[in-house]
């Protein structure tokens, strides 16, 4: 019998005994068929009747037909099977199968009987002699195989969803434990839509009331400590600006699973919370985004507080992911991971790769030390050499 992959690439005529002999391969066959179907970009609403009515219109289109193989004819290089679609409105289809699969068809024929299958077809040029549409067989599989594969895919998708939820809960629990007393609060155990309200005028109490109303309940207790800390870093900021910065910093860090204390430390090193800061190289705003980064993240205003923080935290998340292999054994941030990530944020990942670590640039080395120093101050820990 030909290799198992043949099972997908040809039409089947399988009796009950044949089904029993093929049960062990059902899940993989169905999954392979679904993969090929996805790649073919088939039209799920297209039927043979529609193709027959206007073959030229659907030439090159892919469609799926469910039915039973009622027989075949020919031999050598001209093996043809007759597929009777399940839908009675569709006439039987005569489908040509490659001669290389003849031995497999012979084996299936010996099993006797017929099984419900699905066949993936491509509409080819109209047959000039018969004026009947021609089809190319792209894939075929037992109906039971496909149903099993669909059920398995659904189960795996649900399992992955649950795993992601659990991963987030574990991260949040670890983050709660890591908070120093002066910045201790809770993070929400589950996500949800977070919308930024319009910036408003008012003192700290007004800002806290307005912004926390838009935050998940457990995230709200962190707002005021961060508000007060940011205000102390740059007294020239208005309460309106501090409120918006605090809100965006906390919610963006939460959504992208970045420790907000690292976000704070990065912004201190970049601009010391000056939204109008511009470097001599053209870096903009709180997180000092370069023009190409503004474009890459789809931002319209590099100095806009909300847009700038989102782009900065996105960039920070990407840098941390790049050096995830240097994280602590429990998955938490290590000093080495932070060093490499912040060096990449400042000088680019190419420079880090070139020098096998933090580049020997005075600016970058001081920048990395500054971020680590503030991060450990906020964590109440000490930095490793």
Region of poorest pLDDT, from 121-135, 178-192, 249-263: 178-192
| Distance in angstroms (rounded) separating the CA atoms of residues 39 and 124 | 18
Looking at residues 193-208, what average pLDDT do you find?
A: 61
Query: Phi, psi at residue 120, to the nearest 5°?
Result: -95, 125
Q: Residue 369: is its pLDDT beyond 70?
A: yes
CB atoms within 10 A of CB 53: 11
From the list 327, 362, 325, the residue with the least C-alpha distance to 347 is 362
Top CATH class, 6-153: mainly beta
Q: Give pTM, 2 decimals.
A: 0.51
If you average pLDDT over residues 1-26, what whole number do you get?
33
- What is the spatial distance between Cα 265 and Cα 263, in angstroms, rounded to a whole number? 5
pLDDT at 22 (0 to 100): 36
Of the listed ranges 88-97, 131-140, 159-168, 323-332, the one predicted with least confidence: 159-168
What pLDDT score does 189 carry?
30
Lowest pLDDT segment from 14-28, 80-94, 335-349: 14-28
Listed residue (90, 89, 93) closest to 72, CA to CA: 93
- Phi and psi angles of residue 135, each rounded to the nearest 5 degrees, phi first: -125, 145
With beta carbons less than 8 A apart as the criterion, state whether 210 and 242 touch: no
Residue 12 or residue 43, greater confidence = 43
Decide if 139 contacts 10 (C-beta within 8 A): no
pLDDT averaged over the chain? 78
Residues that are catalytic: 270
- Mean pLDDT along residues 345-360: 95
Distance from C-alpha of 131 to C-alpha of 95, rounded to nearest angstrom: 15
Long-range Cβ contacts of 178-186 (<8 Å, 24+ apart): 178/259, 178/332, 178/379, 180/378, 180/379, 180/380, 181/380, 182/225, 183/222, 183/225, 183/226, 183/229, 183/261, 183/378, 185/218, 185/219, 185/220, 185/221, 185/222, 185/225, 186/218, 186/219, 186/221, 186/222
Lowest pLDDT segment from 172-181, 278-287, 366-375: 172-181
- State the burial class of residue 79 (Cβ atoms within 10 Å of its Cβ: 0-12, 13-18, 19+): buried
Q: Where are the beta strands (DSSP E) in 124-230?
A: 135-142
- 362-379 and 335-347 helices, crossing angle to 10°: 140
Task: Check residue 353 and give its pLDDT.
Answer: 95
pLDDT at 179 over 50: no
Task: Quote the pLDDT of residue 139.
Answer: 82
Contact 50, 66 (CB under 8 A): no
Distance between CA atoms of residues 369 and 314, nearest Å: 21
Query: Exposed, middle or buried, 240 (CB in 10 Å: 0-12/13-18/19+)?
Result: middle
Q: What is the pLDDT of residues 318-342, one digit of tens each?
A: 999 999 999 998 888 999 999 999 9
What average pLDDT does range 270-290 have in this prediction? 96
What are the residues facing 95 on neighbouring strands?
A: 81
Which tens digits make up the pLDDT trace of 213-268? 777 776 788 888 899 999 999 999 999 899 999 989 998 898 888 999 999 999 99
Whether residue 2 has pLDDT greater than 50 = no
pLDDT score at 282: 94
Give helix then strand counts, H and E, for the chain. 16, 5
Domain 179-379 class? mainly alpha
Confidence of residue 357 (pLDDT cuts 50, 70, 90): very high
CA distance 342 to 326: 13
- For the segment 148-162, the average pLDDT, to the nearest whole number, is 70
Residue 354 has pLDDT above 50, yes or no: yes
Per-residue confidence band for 15, with pLDDT thresholds at 50, 70 and 90: very low
Domain spans of the chain? 6-153, 179-379
Q: Is the pLDDT of residue 366 over 70?
A: yes
Q: Tell me the pLDDT tens digit for each residue of 50-93.
A: 998 888 889 899 999 988 878 777 766 677 778 788 876 778 88
Model confidence at 158: pLDDT above 90: no
């Amino acid at each position: 019998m030909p290799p198992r992959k043949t099972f997908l690439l040809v039409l089947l005529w399988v009796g009950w005994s044949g089904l029993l002999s093929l049960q062990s391969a059902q899940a993989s066959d169905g999954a392979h068929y679904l993969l090929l179907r996805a790649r073919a970009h088939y039209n799920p609403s297209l039927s043979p009747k529609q193709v027959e009515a206007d073959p030229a219109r659907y030439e090159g289109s892919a469609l799926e037909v469910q039915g039973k193989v009622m027989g075949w004819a020919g031999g050598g290089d001209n093996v043809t099977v007759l597929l009777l679609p399940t839908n009675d409105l569709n006439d039987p289809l005569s489908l040509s199968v490659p001669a290389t699969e003849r031995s497999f068809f012979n084996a299936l024929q010996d099993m006797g009987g017929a099984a419900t299958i699905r066949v993936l077809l491509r509409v080819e040029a109209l047959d000039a002699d018969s004026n009947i549409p021609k089809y190319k067989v792209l894939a075929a599989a037992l109906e039971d195989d496909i149903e099993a594969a669909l059920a398995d895919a659904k189960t795996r998708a649900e399992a992955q969803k649950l795993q992601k939820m659990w991963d987030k809960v574990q991260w949040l629990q670890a983050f709660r434990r890591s908070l120093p007393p002066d910045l201790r609060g809770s993070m929400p155990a589950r996500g949800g839509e977070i919308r930024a309200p319009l910036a408003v005028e008012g003192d700290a109490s007004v800002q806290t009331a307005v912004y926390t109303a838009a935050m998940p309940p457990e995230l709200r207790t962190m707002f005021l400590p961060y508000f007060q800390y940011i205000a102390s870093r740059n007294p020239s900021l208005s309460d309106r600006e501090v409120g918006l910065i605090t809100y965006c910093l906390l919610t963006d860090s939460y959504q992208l699973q970045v420790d907000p204390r690292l976000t704070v430390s990065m912004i201190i090193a970049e601009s010391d919370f000056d939204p109008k800061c511009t470097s001599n190289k053209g870096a903009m705003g709180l997180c000092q985004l370069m023009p190409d980064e503004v474009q890459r993240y789809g931002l319209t205003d590099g100095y806009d507080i909300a847009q700038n923080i989102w782009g900065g935290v996105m960039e920070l998340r990407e840098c941390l992911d790049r050096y995830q292999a240097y994280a602590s054994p429990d998955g938490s941030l290590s000093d080495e991971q932070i060093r490499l990530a912040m060096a990449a944020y400042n000088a680019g990942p190419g420079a880090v790769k070139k020098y096998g670590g933090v580049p020997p640039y005075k600016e970058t080395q001081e920048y990395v030390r500054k971020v680590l120093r503030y991060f450990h101050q906020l964590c109440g820990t000490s930095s490793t050499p």
